Amino acid sequence: MSGNELKFLIGGNWVDPIGTGRHTLINPATEEPVCDIAMGDERDVERAVAAAKAAFPAYSTTSVKERQRLLKRLLELYNRDYELIADMMTEEMGTTSAFSRSAQGWCGRAHLETIIEVLDGYAFEERRGDILISREAVGVCALITPWNWPMNQLVVKVVPALAAGCTMVVKPSEFSPLSSIHFSGLIKEAGFPDGVYNYINGEGRVVGEALSRHPDVDMVSVTGSARAGIAVARAAADTIKRVHQELGGKSANIILDDADFEEAVSRGVHGCYGNTGQSCKAPTRMLVPAARMKEAAAIAARTADSVRIGPPTEASSDHGPVVNRQQYERIQSLIEAGIAEGATLVAGGPGRPKGLNRGYYVRPTVFADVTSDMTIAREEIFGPVLSIMAYDDENDAVRIANDTIYGLAGYIQTPDKDRARRIARQLRVGMVYINQSDWDATAPFGGYKQSGNGREHGEFGLSDFLEIKATGGWE
C-alpha cells in the first residue's frame, strides 16, 4: 500500500479529506480487511473541481510535445512499478496473479503506449480554405471508473484526457482503490502540473452525483452499470455538459453450423469466464443451431468442469473470486433464477466450488436451453455464468443476438469469412470479434443502445475529450 489510503490528491498535494466517511476494503479471496480508505463528500468535490479549473488555462495551452513528454515519463514509472500494481489488483479484486500481469496490468501499459503514438500524428488543427479547424481540450473532466478492470478503465480515460490538454477529477471505485491510489502517485511523480489530475473517493450517489451536476465540470466520462450511467446523465442534464458512457453488455457469441464445435464452444466458455466473468463485453450468450444444443451443452459442461477456481495467488488457479459479497450474492440469485425459470443446468450451480468455504468464489456455471424471456438471458450477470441458446437459422441467430437492450459486442465463429462479414454488418453492437480475434488498444471501444455512447481507445478516445472550433477568415 502507498500510505495515502486516507488522503486525496488535490491541487498537487496529498491532503486530508473534509468528508469523514470510511470504506473498509475486503480481500475477496479471504474475506479479511485490507485497509480503510477515505470517502469524501460534496466539499471534497468542490476543492477538487476548483483545483482542476484553476489548472486548466495553463495546461490546455501546453504543447503537444510537452504533454507527450509527460506521458512518456508516466509510462516509464508505470513499467517500473508494474509488478507492484499487478499485486495490488490481485489483493483488491481477486484476479489471479498471472492474469493481473498478463491482462489487467498490460491493458494500462497498452493504452499509455497507444496514446503516446497517436500524439505523433494527430491533427489538432487543419485548414479548409480560409477556415481553421481546431480541436481543443473540452475542459474540466470528471472521470468515474469501475472496479472490474482497475488499470484499464482508469488509464483509458485519464491518458487521453491528459493528452488532449484537459484537467480532471478522478473518482475510481472504492472496491479496487489500491492500484488507483498508486497510479495517482505516479501522475504526481511524473511531473504533471499541480491541479491537472485530482483524485478523490466516495460513494457514487454522493461524490459521483456532485461531480456530474457541478457547473464547472465540462464533461463526465463514466464506466459502470446502466443504473450508474442513467444517474450520471440525469445529474448532468441541467448543465448540458458532455456525458460519455461505457456501460453494460449481454454479448452474443454466434457459433455457426460449419464451425469446429469442440474448439468454438470451449473457447466461448473460456471467453465468458475471463476475469471471472466480470467484463462488460464477455460473450455470455452462446447461440448454437437448435439441432446441436445437446452437443454444445456437453462440450461446455466439460470445459466448465475443467476450470480451476482457487486462491488468486496460487499458480494452479485459473480464476479467483468475484470482487465482493454483494456481487457474489447477486450472481447466486441469478443462478437460482435460471434454475427456477426452467433453464437446464449442465455445469456448476449455486454455492462455492468444492473445497472452498470462504471467499467470494463462484462455481463456473453453464445453462443450456435458455430462451430470450429468461432473466439470465436478459440481465448482465457479471460472473462466470454462460447461457446457451438455440437458433433455427442464420436470420434467427441475428434476431436473438439483437434482442437485448445492450449493444456492446458480438462474436461470430465460422471458417467462412463471407458469412461472418454478412452477419457482422447486421449486429447492432459497437464491436464484433470474428473467430475470437484479439483485443486491440487502437480499435474503438464502445457500444450501441443502453451500452452507452462515445468511444474509448486510441485516437477515438482522444477525440472524445476535444471540442471542435471553426475559425473563418483565418487567411
Closest to 214 in 3D by CA, of 390, 376, 393, 53: 53
Mean per-residue pLDDT, 169-183: 97
Active site residue 246: yes
Catalytic residue among 5, 209, 246, 380: 246
Inform me whether the pLDDT recorded for 301 exceeds 80: yes
Using pLDDT thresholds of 50, 70 and 90, give the confidence band for residue 436: confident
- The CA-to-CA distance between both ends of the chain, in Å, stands at 56
How many residues does this entry show for the chain?
A: 475
Q: What is the pLDDT of residues 345-364, one digit of tens each?
A: 999 999 999 999 999 999 99
- Mean pLDDT of all residues belonging to the chain: 97
Strands (E), 124-255: 125-128, 131-137, 140-144, 167-171, 197-199, 219-223, 242-246, 252-255
Inform me whether the pLDDT recorded for 174 exceeds 80: yes
Identify the pLDDT of residue 458: 96
Domain boundaries, the chain: 8-247+451-471, 252-441
Using pLDDT thresholds of 50, 70 and 90, give the confidence band for residue 54: very high
Residues in contact with 148: Cβ distance below 8 Å, sequence separation at least 6, in sequence order: 93, 176, 275, 278, 279, 280, 323, 382
Using pLDDT thresholds of 50, 70 and 90, give the confidence band for residue 475: confident
Active site residue 5: no
Inform me whether the pLDDT recorded for 1 exceeds 90: no
Among positive and negative, which fits the CA dihedral 351, 356, 357, 358?
A: negative
Q: What is the pLDDT of residues 184-195, one digit of tens each?
A: 999 999 999 999
243 neighbors 233 (Cβ within 8 angstroms):
yes
Identify the pLDDT of residue 41: 97
171 neighbors 205 (Cβ within 8 angstroms):
no
CATH of domain 252-441: 3.40.309.10
Enter the pTM of the model: 0.96
Inform me whether the pLDDT recorded for 445 exceeds 90: yes
Q: What is the pLDDT of residues 365-402, one digit of tens each?
A: 999 999 999 999 999 999 999 999 999 999 999 999 99
Catalytic residue among 141, 166, 272, 280: 280
Q: What cell does 449 get?
A: 443502445
Q: Which fold has domain 8-247+451-471?
A: Aldehyde Dehydrogenase; Chain A, domain 1 (3.40.605)
Helix locations, 173-260, DSSP H:
177-190, 209-213, 226-237
64 neighbors 119 (Cβ within 8 angstroms):
yes
Identify the pLDDT of residue 2: 75
The Cα–Cα gap between 413 and 71 comes to 38
286 neighbors 389 (Cβ within 8 angstroms):
yes
431 neighbors 282 (Cβ within 8 angstroms):
no
Identify the pLDDT of residue 318: 97
Q: What is the pLDDT of residues 205-219, one digit of tens each?
A: 999 999 999 999 999
Backbone angles phi, psi at 354, to 5 degrees: -55, 135
Mean per-residue pLDDT, 21-50: 98
% of the chain residues with pLDDT over 90: 98
Q: What is the pLDDT of residues 238-257, one digit of tens each?
A: 999 999 999 999 999 999 99
